[in-house]
Structure 1
């Protein structure tokens, strides 16, 4: 039987266990007649996939795999928190997703056609409307601080549809929910290392006691020459690259040439953070370790990270972020000799005093910096540092001119000096440095 087949056999064995069952490497290896190393790799793979968890003082147990919630949906439970509400009935349905909200400001016969399953009916002290909504499959949000009758509470419990009471008025509640739905539409799903990692069963790694000839064997079968090093307990203790191996004898051990205490990431690390770390250090792969014991569970490569970042950028996005707002209002008036960008301050960009907010100014400088540096080299980049000096406030409806100047550019880095003028007067200066993401 091949190792891959054994791995699949162990994975199926783990998935068939009842939720809450304890799992040990030794017992799994004995039950399935496989080596403890093969059992360990499969258990770590199962943990990375989310149906096994290691609990302190309890051990490794089988758990129910949690599905990622949809980022485009609000739950009734989130509505309760949003409106400082009190749940009067139907608590069993709080985890359901809200599809639409309907304001009950018309006659019951007229509103029936607008109510759907898992909608939210917003109404005041109108029991007939509450009953109609529940029977149509919708939850109820009672505004003005009114209570619900015992009959409505009982019906809500029976149907597992929440009935919520809030002291806010209908207009305020509708505005809050509308804003939350809009914000959810803007969000993009955050991709984590766990979504792209190469599992342990497919990871090439070295033991610290291995001879250098083992590195040469792995190097011939992979596209990168960087391998994590583990001890006998699978704890990551180092990393080995071609630079470490050159000049050493084949009889030397990996522990004699490896770089100790390497950079690692955990499954919960965002891909964006991992990408920044890899770019900053100039490395092409990172070991992925568990949260508690620094045990190896896989690796991520720069190629996979770049693919994930491109996927995030291509996700459909509705609604405007601050960067979108700045980009839409930014006019490029550059010529062959000078880069010049112009920008008009709109009400959405101001603070409570009516001045252009510092956050929008920072976004403005970043957007301009990206555009200028992308002319030098196409592709993604990461802003490393931004120093901003504010000389005078910029007011509503003033016209801002940004004059960027490239101070330094290399294959991997770019540095810009920028001056911001408000109606011709110097309002601020900024120094921005960034790193380009090389594609492999």
Structure 2
């Protein structure tokens, strides 16, 4: 039976896109407390099926697929630019395909203004009207208002007309930044993207026996399985270690490990990879908020996804991407890496930021380990025991030296040079993900 939290989420999903949602109404309709309703609505907002807008309220929106994650709804635009909705609230859930800056003559402006687009313009009432008639929403900059007849038209067309106090350039930059951030998020892989779904997963129940472990092991080749109760909640894990020396008729709940490590579908790939390496486990159950089994994720799934990431072109550039793109191997000396300090890598004083300094060190170690040991690494500890300010446009040479390496770990000393002068030194402890 679904929990109250799950029932509220299912109820919200059943509502028509554009419907207004309130804590009080949900609590009344489903006979739950205000606190339970509030928590469920917040979860729905995290899942991207509702959006809360100041002076408007919470509305049901279309949940965007990951492939279209760079698209924004008009409701999200309102939040981004601290806007005020003048009309067309019923269309806030709609997704804009592009935005157009109205800095031209009306006839030229209309050639670029299409249905589902957003026209960014000042106090030009005729442009507001023509855009709405063309099926486009309107964003008025400079804090200006518009005619009541245009607001009425926006209501009829169910197309938002929004006002913001920011100027046109600032608004365009803010929307661009939001789309850019979404592109970076789009690249982040979560457990739900790569895990084996419940229908294809192998698990055991508390009432099954050791002989059932052998059956699952023969079919799946896994040595570790989640154990569920009669409500499909994960209550334990059973591995090859647990069954050694046990009779075939021994019940699973008598030998399983309780309170196992689990992840949810929204757990990042990086997090689950770190967990598997650190704990030395090959398979982790994937559960929902009620601890119900939704699937499993294996070490092979993680490694395959990490290899796929390396082959994919980067769409949104992060600090790590900037560091990686600016670092190359020195052709004159093996194991020496070269990087230029560009403006994006500096702090407010114009010197290399501490965060980028750390990224340079880890990137060099990662490249070195891939070449020397054919291994991926997960950084466990970085000790920077010497650093000096490095000005912009400096050429740095990063030299990682492998001090010790085992089957599962590596110890690396890293020296950073500017010319012949040492400007940084660090010691890194890392786990090996694969060999």
Shorter-normalised TM range: 0.7 to 0.9
Q: Which of residues 135, 138, 144 in structure 1 aligns to 2:136? A: 138
Conserved? CA contact 2:90–2:160, under 8 Å:
yes
Q: Which of residues 63, 85, 100 in structure 2 aligns to 1:102? A: 100
SS at match of 1:220: helix
Q: Which of residues 402, 407, 411 in structure 1 aligns to 2:403? A: 407
Q: Which of residues 254, 257, 260 in structure 1 aligns to 2:255? A: 257
Asked if residue 358 in structure 1 is aligned to residue 351 in structure 2, the reply is: no
Deviation (angstroms), 1:209: 4.0
Runs of 4+ with >6 A deviation: none
Deviation (angstroms), 1:234: 3.8
Take 1:66 and 1:99, find their aligned partners in 2: how far apart are those partners?
15
Take 2:360 and 2:274, find their aligned partners in 1: how far apart are those partners?
21
The alignment's TM-score, normalised by the length of structure 1, stands at 0.78
For residues 340-381 of structure 1, what are the alpha-carbon distances to aligned partners after superposition, in whole Å with 9 as ceiling and x for unaligned? 222221222211111111121122112111111111233543
Deviation (angstroms), 1:75: 2.3
Take 1:208 and 1:389, find their aligned partners in 2: how far apart are those partners?
51
Conserved? CA contact 2:70–2:180, under 8 Å:
no
The alignment's TM-score, normalised by the length of structure 2, stands at 0.78
Structure 1 residues 304 and 75: CA distance shift in structure 2, 3 A: same
Asked if residue 300 in structure 1 is aligned to residue 278 in structure 2, the reply is: no
Q: Which range is displaced more, 191-200 or 142-151? A: 191-200
Counterpart position of 2:314: 317
Take 2:88 and 2:206, find their aligned partners in 1: how far apart are those partners?
58
The aligned length equals 380
Conserved? CA contact 2:61–2:93, under 8 Å:
no
Deviation (angstroms), 1:314: 4.4
Counterpart position of 1:32: none
Q: Which of residues 71, 83, 86 in structure 1 aligns to 2:84? A: 86
Counterpart position of 2:336: 340
Structure 1 residues 67 and 123: CA distance shift in structure 2, 3 A: closer
Counterpart position of 2:235: 237
Take 1:212 and 1:383, find their aligned partners in 2: how far apart are those partners?
38
For residues 140-183 of structure 1, what are the alpha-carbon distances to aligned partners after superposition, in whole Å with 9 as ceiling and x for unaligned? 11111111111111111111222111111222222222333333
Structure 1 residues 176 and 102: CA distance shift in structure 2, 3 A: same
Deviation (angstroms), 1:312: 4.3
Counterpart position of 2:124: 126
Counterpart position of 1:177: 175
Provide structure 1 residue ranges, at least 5 long, that are not aligned to the other structure. Answer: 1-14, 21-49, 51-62
Structure 1 residues 208 and 170: CA distance shift in structure 2, 3 A: closer
Aligned-CA RMSD value: 2.9
Conserved? CA contact 1:225–1:242, under 8 Å:
yes
Q: What pairs up with 1:4-403 in 2 under 5 angstroms?
A: 19=14, 66-68=63-65, 70-292=68-290, 294-333=291-330, 339-378=335-374, 380-403=376-399
Q: Which of residues 410, 431, 435 in structure 2 aligns to 1:435? A: 431
Greater C-alpha Rg = 1
Conserved? CA contact 2:89–2:159, under 8 Å:
yes
Q: Which range is displaced more, 73-82 or 140-149? A: 73-82
Deviation (angstroms), 1:413: 2.5
Asked if residue 420 in structure 1 is aligned to residue 416 in structure 2, the reply is: yes
Conserved? CA contact 1:90–1:161, under 8 Å:
yes
Structure 1 residues 204 and 318: CA distance shift in structure 2, 3 A: closer
Provide structure 2 residue ranges, at least 5 long, that are not aligned to the other structure. Answer: 1-9, 16-46, 48-59
Deviation (angstroms), 1:394: 1.4
